[in-house]
Every structure is written in C-alpha cells, then in structure tokens.
C-alpha cells in the first residue's frame, strides 16, 4: 500500500487513551508493540492525546524506559526512524517497576496513570496490554480491579488485550475466563491473534464478500477440498521451555489456524464488523464435530523433527534443542483432516498442517475446485492437468494466485495450467508492518471483529482437546519421524493421498 495510506480500514484516529504495557521489558514489546505504535504515530492514527506506561519487574524509572525504548525502536522499527515523530512519542512514555503480586505496585501504577493523564490532557480511557506469561493474566486483572482501574464510565472505557495462549486445554481456558470475568466484563476483553492482523488474512473477507463472482461457487458443489498450511523453517530457537509444554497443536492450530479456517468457511455476515462476523465464525467451529478416539488415530498425524539440513546448514533435532527434554514426546508437526458439518461444506475435507523445521517458510490457503463435469479434451489430457485452484498467500509474500486452464498456441489442442498472480507489492511502495498495527488501532476504537470472543475460544478447544487426550494416552513411538528441511512425516502425504489429493507448495511468481 502507499506509504501515506492507513494500515486500517478507518480514517480517524484512535480514541484518546493511556496505553499500559505489562511486560514492557520483554521481547514482544521491543520487537512488535513499540514498532507498531510508532507506525501508528507516523501514520497519524494514534490520537493526539495519548500516553504510554510500561510495567515490568526490571528496575528502572521513566528516563530508563525512554532510553531503552529509543534503543529498541532504532533496532526494530519497520519504517525509517524519524527523530521528530519519535521525540514526541518518547516524551509521553513512563515506567513503573514492580511485582504483579504486590498491590502497592498497582497503587503506584494508578498514580502514574493519573500523572500522565494530567501531563498530556488524556481522558480516562485506558488500554491494558498483557504481554506477559498467561499464568499472570488473572492476577494482574484482579489487582487492576482491586485498585479501581477496570471500572468503566460513560466517559471512560477500560480494555484489556490478552496474548495467547488462552488456557492450556479446555478446562484451564474455562477456569481462566471465569477468573478474568470476576473483575472485568467480556466486552472489555480483547483476545489478540496477530495472524488476524496480516493483510491477506483480513483480505479473505474482502475477497469473498466483495467479489460477487466467487460467492456462488464457495460451497460443496464446486469446491472439492481446502488446505491450510503454516510452515516454518525455524526450530524452537530459545523457546524450548515454553514449546515443550505446548507443541504445535496448542501453539498454532488451536488459535491461528482454526481462526483462518473459520474465516474461509463462514457464512456471509450481516455486516463486516463487530459481533456479526464473530457470530458466523463461531458457527463454523461449532459445526466441526469433535473426533472420537478412532477418528483421531485415522485423521491426525503428528511429527517431531530430527537433525537435518536447511539452507545448506546442518541443524539439530528437536530433542537436542535448549531447554527441551531429551526424551520429549512433544509434537513439532501436525497434519489433520477436519469436516465442517453444515449444508455449505458437507463432505468437503479441510486439510490443515503446521510444523517447524520444514522445507520452506510459508503460510497459504488453497481452495481446490472440482474438475469440469465433462472430459471434452480427452481423459489423458485432463488427468495430467490439475483442477482449478485458488491460493491465498499469507506469508512471506502476501498475494493471491488463481490457476486456470488455457490452450497453448498451435494447431493442436494442448492445455496448460496458467497461474494468474496478484501480489500486494503491486499496490506500490509498501509500509512494512508488524501485524499488530491494525489490532492495536481496532482496540483503541472499540472494533472487535479481529479479536476472539470467549465462545470461539471454547469451541476451538472442544475441537483440539479430544486429539490431545488421545495423543497423551498413546505416546508417539517413532519420534523423531521427519528430518529437518523436509515437509514432515510421510504419513502426512498419505493422509491426503487417501482422498486422491496432494499437498500444494506455491512459490510467489
């Protein structure tokens, strides 16, 4: 998109507010949140009246926070550093060191908020961002409530952004939600999924509902299968301690992938904002019937990477990564077949896969259309030409590819597969974004479309939990079962081959 074009679908600034970031000294803050807020400031989407307060256990004061933030933004900014833009931003930045369990620290935070509000004439709106370990979510919200920081009025909203994961399983998700809603209302909770901030993911709704040529064919009559792939070349890096208790099912499938699936499969909403979209997404998840143990064994594949080669370099296996149990049974790869049991999608398989240390870094959605009903050009010719496919490339290159069939020039009829490509770079010079700009902005204006409501979290855990239960009861015997730098275990290919399909890999042209 052009440099001066907003990153969002709105043309007004966010509501005046104070933004409090818990975990201000952490990785997420310096790599994503500060650059995203800086981008919003540069694009004039931050309100004129705002302030930012960091909260963490690291000792420091306001000046320390401003100096650290300046160092971090110079290293991690996704746009050219502008001294004037950043100067105003830094002046409005404050810091409170303390312990989440100490109520006196939250009283200090309340006083610091009041100080910043007075200094910059900011009204009572406050956005709390919990960029902290999930185990602290409930305690922090409880403490905020205890000092009166979660109370709303007609003139002041209070909103809490919660990072993933929301629970470790269905029971813990329900327990966490019950704990949060003791102090705040569901309408105040913004469960963030940074995947929904990506341009191509947002474009799924525009593509489906803004182009009348696709909606008539977006159903079981014309679509034979759907594939969603989220592949990473990286291993667990320095996240071994977290990942070994999570695995790819909890880390990617329960939130990111099921959210993308629901956007692909949902019915047209009555409007494109707020609960209208979220209502339709939940209906999709509720239409995915939880698997029986026998179905889990038949329709899911799990894997764990061993040593291999990526980019010409040898890389270690998962069990030798830092902070990983040498006998770990945690999955780093999953492939599965899901069925959405409603009238639109009955008998259309949704294949999903995700993993680490795979052959490429890519996220894509593939819509496989059915073959033409008559073999007009000969069975052999048509057998060698794949059916029409629509591919939505989410990352690393954002764009859309539509495969069509065309006759090659010459006196004989020879059919070729022709990809029609659209790339977001074609909009012109682009602004590199972190994926958090739209989400932070939407929270500031009260737009909830891209955030998870609890019923969708509950529905996704109901899909995932039976699978995790079977995997726990029947530990994998063959781990590691794929080499780093490959596309996962051979059983993943067999899963889709049983239905006469194959996984698709699309480089952007």
**Active site residue ranges:** 256
Contacts of 97 (CB under 8 A, 6+ apart): 55, 56, 57, 58, 59, 60, 61, 105
User: How far is residue 171's CA from residue 179's CA, in Å, rounded to a whole number?
Assistant: 12
User: How far is residue 406's CA from residue 414's CA, in Å, rounded to a whole number?
Assistant: 8
The Cα angle at residue 321 between residues 315 and 326, in degrees rounded to 5: 120
Q: What is the CB neighbour count within 10 angstroms for residue 236?
A: 23
Q: Work out whether strand 158-162 and strand 333-339 pair parallel, antiparallel, or are unpaired.
A: unpaired
Contact between 35 and 434 under an 8 Å Cβ cutoff? The reply is yes
Q: What is the DSSP string of 418-446?
A: EEEEEEGGGGSS-----S-HHHHHHHHHT
Q: Using the structure block, give the residue that is written with the tokens 């239409």.
A: 287
User: How far is residue 255's CA from residue 259's CA, in Å, rounded to a whole number?
Assistant: 6
- In sequence order, the β-bridge partners of residue 364 are 229, 393
Kindly state the DSSP code that residue 33 receives in the 8-state scheme: I
Q: Using the structure block, give the residue that is written with the tokens 């949140």.
A: 33
Contact between 253 and 230 under an 8 Å Cβ cutoff? The reply is no
């Amino acid at each position: 998109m052009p440099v001066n074009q907003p990153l969002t679908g709105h043309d007004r600034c966010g509501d005046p507010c104070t933004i409090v970031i818990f975990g201000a000294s952490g990785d997420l803050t310096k790599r994503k949140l500060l650059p995203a807020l800086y981008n919003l400031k540069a694009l004039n989407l931050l309100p004129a009246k705002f302030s930012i307060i960091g909260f963490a256990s690291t000792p420091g004061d306001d000046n320390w926070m401003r100096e650290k933030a300046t160092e971090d933004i110079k290293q991690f900014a996704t746009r050219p550093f502008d001294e004037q833009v950043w100067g105003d931003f830094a002046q409005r930045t404050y810091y409170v060191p303390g312990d989440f369990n100490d109520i006196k620290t939250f009283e200090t935070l309340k006083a610091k908020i009041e100080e910043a509000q007075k200094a910059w004439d900011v009204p009572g709106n406050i956005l709390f961002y919990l960029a902290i370990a999930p185990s602290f979510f409930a305690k922090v919200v409880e403490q905020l409530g205890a000092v009166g920081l979660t109370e709303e009025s007609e003139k002041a909203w209070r909103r809490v952004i919660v990072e993933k994961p929301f629970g470790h399983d269905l029971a813990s998700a329900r327990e966490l939600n019950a704990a949060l809603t003791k102090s705040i209302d569901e309408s105040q909770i913004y469960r963030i999924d940074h995947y929904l901030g990506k341009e191509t993911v947002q474009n799924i709704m525009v593509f489906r509902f803004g182009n009348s040529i696709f909606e008539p064919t977006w159903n079981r009559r014309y679509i034979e299968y759907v594939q969603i792939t989220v592949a990473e070349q990286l291993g667990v890096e320095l996240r071994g301690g977290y990942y070994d208790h999570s695995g790819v099912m909890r880390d990617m499938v329960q939130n990111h992938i099921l959210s993308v699936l629901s956007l692909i499969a949902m019915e047209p909403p009555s409007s494109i904002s707020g609960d209208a979209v979220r209502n339709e997404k939940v209906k999709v998840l509720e239409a995915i019937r939880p698997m029986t143990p026998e179905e889990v064994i038949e329709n899911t594949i799990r894997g764990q990477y061993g040593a291999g080669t990526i980019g010409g370099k040898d890389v270690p296996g998962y069990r030798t990564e830092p902070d990983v149990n040498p006998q770990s049974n945690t999955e780093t790869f999953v492939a599965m077949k899901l069925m959405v049991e409603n009238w639109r999608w009955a008998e259309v398989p949704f294949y999903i896969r995700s993993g680490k240390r795979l052959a490429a870094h890519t996220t894509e959605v593939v819509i496989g259309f059915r073959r033409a009903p008559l073999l007009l050009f000969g069975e052999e010719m048509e057998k060698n030409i794949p059916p029409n496919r629509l591919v939505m490339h989410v990352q690393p290159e954002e764009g859309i590819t539509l495969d069509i069939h065309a006759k090659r020039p010459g006196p004989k009829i020879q059919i070729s597969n022709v990809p029609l490509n659209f790339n977001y770079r074609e909009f012109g010079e682009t602004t590199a974004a972190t994926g958090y700009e739209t989400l932070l902005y939407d929270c500031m204006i009260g737009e909830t479309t891209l955030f998870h409501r609890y019923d969708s979290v509950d529905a996704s855990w109901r899909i995932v939990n039976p699978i995790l239960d079977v995997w726990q009861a029947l530990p994998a015997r063959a781990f590691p079962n794929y080499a780093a730098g490959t596309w996962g275990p051979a059983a993943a290919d067999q899963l889709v081959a049983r239905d006469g399909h194959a996984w698709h890999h699309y480089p952007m042209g």
